[in-house]
């Protein structure tokens, strides 16, 4: 039987993995609470509750630019 694939899928990251990955990549601690607050503020999430890293990054850029559209 084949081993399960342990690679992360950037289009469907569990929120805990997303927090860990963003912390490692950004040099600033990103917590699960921070990601949940972003979701409550309108950040996109997949139907299964996972995070698409590209969609989330686009949302963050839109939020930071102040356009919101």
Could you tell me the pLDDT band of residue 4, with boundaries at 50, 70 and 90?
Answer: low
pLDDT of residue 7: 85
Number of domains in the chain: 1
Q: Pick 7 or 31 by higher pLDDT.
A: 31
CA 26 distance to own-chain centroid: 13
Cβ-contact 53, 18 below 8 angstroms: yes
Q: Which domain holds residue 45?
A: 15-65
In a domain, 30, yes or no: yes
For the segment 40-66, the average pLDDT, to the nearest whole number, is: 95
47, part of any domain:
yes
Q: How far apart are CA 36 and CA 38, in angstroms?
A: 5
Q: What is the pLDDT of residue 28?
A: 95
pLDDT band at 40 (very low <50, low <70, confident <90, very high): very high
- The whole-angstrom separation of Cα 53 and Cα 50 is 9
In a domain, 52, yes or no: yes
């Amino acid at each position: 039987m084949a081993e399960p694939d342990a690679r992360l899928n950037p289009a469907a990251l569990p929120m805990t993995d997303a927090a860990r990955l963003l912390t490692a990549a950004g040099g600033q601690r990103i917590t699960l609470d921070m990601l949940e607050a972003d979701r409550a503020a309108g950040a996109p999430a997949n139907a299964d509750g996972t995070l698409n890293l590209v969609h989330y990054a686009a949302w963050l850029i839109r939020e930071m630019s102040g356009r919101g559209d």
